[in-house]
Amino acid sequence: MSLRPVLLLRVFIPFALGYFLSYLFRTVNAVIAPDLVRDVGVDPASLGLLTSAYFLAFAAFQLPLGVLLDRYGARRVEATLLLFAAAGAFIFARAETLTGLMLGRALIGLGVSACLMAAFKAFTLWFPPERLPLANGIQMISGGIGALAATTPVELSLQLTDWRGVFLILSGVTVLAAICVFLVVPEAEGTQSGETLREQLGGIRRVFTSRTFWTIAPWAVTAQAAYLSISGLWSGPWLRDLANYDRMAVANTLMGVSLAMIAGYFAFGALAERLARRNIQPMTVAVAGMLIFIFVQCMLVLQWTALTLPLWVLFGFFGTACILPYAVLSQSFPRNLSGRANTGLNLLVFVAAFAAQWVIGLIIDLWPQTASGGYNAAGYSTGFGLIMMLQLAAAIWYFVSIRSKPGAESDMA
């Protein structure tokens, strides 16, 4: 299948804008955390809970989202939900209490819950299966650019306004993104499903009873949870407290992580597509990347601060391998189930990310603060170490599962 350049841009750009905003919202708290602590007076556990409210609302809507995407199409669903994100950003900007901030953050999570899955759904309709890893990787680059925008650019903008002003601007931009998605994205054949609600619910059951799904999901979920929870919040405090970076140095380092993320999404997508031509499956590429990702986390747990910058850059790069299982699952189910397969995985990913981000905060809070007001190094090592061990357990489960089912790995195209 070949697409005219103009049509290709109409498919990619609106979804890229939505995912750019999704990732900016997801990671901005890593930079503005000191301001939230100062203005609202939250402790580490409350900061983790506040930031992870995004993940909880995001996760809670994933199963209904899969049904809606397969029934009404990506364009209508994402455009509508982005309006909720805009409202959430406005509430967050105006909130004076932790409860108000959590409400705004949860609405943002709900509103951007379709930004990636809607794009993946559209790509399964517009692109041949062998192109999906690269197409998905290019889409993820827009998220990396959003994470990039949430670092030094946000820190610089705080010299012109405060964090409330930043969120008011984001609210307006999100409304514009909703309009762009609705008016620009073309409809594809098969956009809307003729299935009954009962048949759609049966599709969810088919996904969650699939052995292939449960072979891939545990490792993909724990790796993504680590990537999202740490890069989205705890990377900033770690750099402040363990590497002794000032605010601008933290923002600049996180910018480096975001640039590595952009490079990683493109590199892993392109590599998976190229190696597939040589009969090396995308899941093999994902496994290699996620194993290196675990090793990098081990170095962070051991607090090798002499290698702070390269370690965090490697964290940003190899964590992107976690996205390849989405393309694998898209190809493991019929097209009419692709939305539910990916949102099923996303449900588990964001529940785990919510739990990880909050639990790391709870663990850090078990140790007293340092004399300078920072968080204790032992708390970071324990919290990060727990998340790393869960990934190791999930990796073992994956290798045991593919060995107990002959041909299982070759099926994961």
What is the predicted pLDDT for the residue at 359? 93
What's the structural domain count of the chain?
A: 1
Name the packing angle between helices 44-60 and 29-40 (round to 10°).
120
Give domain status of residue 336, yes or no: yes
Task: Say if 80 falls within a structural domain.
Answer: yes
Q: Is residue 191 part of a domain?
A: no
62 occurs within a structural domain? yes
Residue 408 has a pLDDT of 46
Predicted confidence at residue 193, as pLDDT, reads 57
| Domain extent for 213 | 5-184+196-411
Examine residue 171 and state whether it is found in any structural domain, yes or no.
yes
In a domain, 190, yes or no: no
Residues of the chain predicted below pLDDT 70: 1-5, 130, 188-195, 197, 405-413
pLDDT value at residue 191: 54
At residue 413, the pLDDT reads: 45
Task: Compute the CA torsion angle 252, 310, 348, 30 (nearest 10 deg).
Answer: -20
Residue-level pLDDT at 1? 46
Please answer whether residues 296 and 314 qualify as being in contact, where contact means their C-beta atoms are separated by less than 8 angstroms.
yes
CATH of the domain at 177: 1.20.1250.20
Tokens linked to 13: 């750009």
Looking at the domain assignment, is residue 189 inside a domain?
no
Model pTM score: 0.76
Is 149 within the bounds of a domain? yes
Name every residue whose Cβ is closer than 8 Å to that of residue 17 and which is 6 or more positions away in sequence. Answer: 142, 177, 180, 181
Distance CA 161, CA 149 (A): 16
